[in-house]
Amino acid sequence: MRCRGFLFGVMVTILTLPALAADRIQLSVDASKPGPKIDRNIFGHFAENLGHGLYEGIWVGPGSSIPNTRGIRNDVVAALRELNVPNVRWPGGCFADQYHWRKGIGPRDKRPATVNSAWGDVIDTNAFGTDEFMDFIQQIGSTPYVSINVGSGTPEEAGEWLEYMTAAAPTALAKERAANGHPEPYKVGFLGIGNESWDCGGAMTPDYYVSLMKVYSRFVLNMNPAQRDKDKMLKIAVGPGTPNTEWTEAVMQAWKKHTWAWDINGVSLHWYTVPNGWPPSTASEKFGLDDYDKTLKSTLFMDEFLRKQEAVMDKYDPEKKVTLSVDEWGAWHAPLPGSNPAFLVQQNSIRDAILASLNLNIFARHADRVRMANIAQMINVLQAMILTDKEKFVLTPTYYVFKMYVPFQDATFIPVTFDAGSYTHGGISLPRIDAIAARSTDGKLLLEITNLDAENPASIDTDLSGITAKSATAETLTAPNVDSINTFESPDVVVPKSAAVNIHDGKLSLTVEPRSVTVIAIEQ
Ligand code: AHR
């Protein structure tokens, strides 16, 4: 039951809250102790040449009946623009360590067909190459994060790729780019020096990789004059994919002794939520509460994983110059029945949305070291933002989490303390809620509250001492069931809606629905 009232000259809603007073959760936001910037690059994406991630998901070709601009889907571009996507990692993943950039430039009808042996041995027309990727990046307003081939490639070839992308004429490769329609050099924001070099990237030992990393860092150069003094390209080394710290030790030990000849700016980390272990076996649709609880429990391990790697990085780099880049993360479920298992197709439910908010909150709490992250993957693969099937298109619950978090991009972290209590079901115990706070770049106080409890709402009182709150707006994402999804036929099952908040005596109160993600923006 609700009644409306006016406070501070703005309309607010006073709630008759369902939870008992004793169950209420007290949050305390301390705006007088601002923390680090929540780098907008933690909201990055990963778009690998895998399944229908690029082909069909982004690229349909200029001749397609699906509305497109120079071959790139207009519906996808419009949706991604809303996310203010800071960077996109491409072309892989495992695919990166077998990719030769030369096969993807020039007239498309002359490009060679190759086999994508990383993902299902399908024929790759190479129609989506460097210039198409850069066009996509420009259309969505993002920054390229290019992973170079350290597995089967050479430093010379990778160096030439960077020259093709970034050199100003009159170099031969800059002229070739101009002849392909792009006289202006591209900006490459981030360079990934290989991918999972301990596994699909070449099964290397840490020492072997470190030797290669130095060579690639030395010779793969960004030549864009506009990136010489500012907007410098950051080089990201391969990091671990298990909590074992041996790899990070080797990379950071080398970095500590680096000379003028080479440098890196980040170390990557890959960690997926695979609740039952490998191979992934959790269903991404039509699952129950047990799977929901198990998945959320599993995803919370990200915090411990980061801590372990950060302890090593702090040893060699107490000033936190080197970024920890979580450039692959997300839920990895069983392939959808009937799909090609190599295409990593899965549905995306409110469970995945909650998982996304929990990970983003963990990254925010590690903002002094984690300044970059890339959800895997952008479209049609793993925990995607968008699913397509020919002309059909649907936004996933995870898409909406990324949209709700846009105000957190480059916001200043603000500590928030609370006793979350616990929610226990089927032997699994989870915190009832999670929360972060921040000051947005336009001066609002932001509060995010995730209610992990699948069955019960949570009533929350937030102490806003030190802040004179004038008004607040809130948006919440929830769904009827733990496995609710958006489909082509019913795209609005899991969409954000506005939520009621009450500000009184310096306290903000609200009730968040079960299994929900809520973002509150407070004007002061
Ligand atoms: O995202 C799918 C794959 O997962 C990537 O290609 C690889 O880097 C990781 O193992």
Answer yes or no: is pLDDT of 467 > 90: no
Of residues 48, 160, 310, 328, which has the active-site annotation? 328
pLDDT at 154: 98
Answer yes or no: is pLDDT of 2 > 80: no
From ligand 1's centre to the CA of 192, what distance in Å? 14
Q: Max alpha carbon distance in the chain (Å)?
A: 73
328 classed as catalytic: yes
Q: Is the CB of 48 under 6 A from ligand 1?
A: yes
pLDDT at 444: 96
Atom 9 (ligand 1) nearest CA: 93
Residue among 195, 271, 328 to mutate when testing ligand 1 (max atoms within 8 A of CB): 328
Q: How many CA atoms within 13 Å lie on the side-chain side of 295?
A: 32
Q: Is the CB of 94 under 6 A from ligand 1?
A: yes
Answer yes or no: is pLDDT of 10 > 70: no
Residue-wise pLDDT tens digits, 469-479: 889 999 999 99
Atom 3 (ligand 1) nearest CA: 93
* pTM value > 0.85: yes
Radius of gyration from C-alpha coordinates of the chain: 23
pLDDT at 1: 24
Residue-wise pLDDT tens digits, 237-272: 999 999 999 999 999 999 999 999 999 999 999 999
From ligand 1's centre to the CA of 513, what distance in Å? 34
Residues 437 and 414: beta-carbon distance below 8 Å? yes
From ligand 1's centre to the CA of 92, what distance in Å? 7
Residue-wise pLDDT tens digits, 408-443: 999 999 999 999 999 999 899 999 999 999 999 999
**pLDDT band at residue 278 using 50, 70 and 90 as cut-offs:** very high
- Omega within 30 of 0 (cis) for the link into 93: yes
Q: What is the mean pLDDT of the chain?
A: 94
pLDDT at 465: 74
Domains belonging to the chain, first-starting first, are 40-349+367-398 (3.20.20.80)
Residue-wise pLDDT tens digits, 35-48: 999 999 999 999 99
Residue 201 CA, closest ligand 1 atom number: 8
Separation of alpha carbons 347 and 352, rounded Å: 9
Query: Residue 45: beta bridge partners?
Result: 88, 375
Tokens of 80: 């991604």
**Mean per-residue pLDDT, 73-81:** 98
From ligand 1's centre to the CA of 338, what distance in Å? 21
455 classed as catalytic: no
- Backbone φ and ψ for 399, nearest 5 degrees, come out as -55, -45
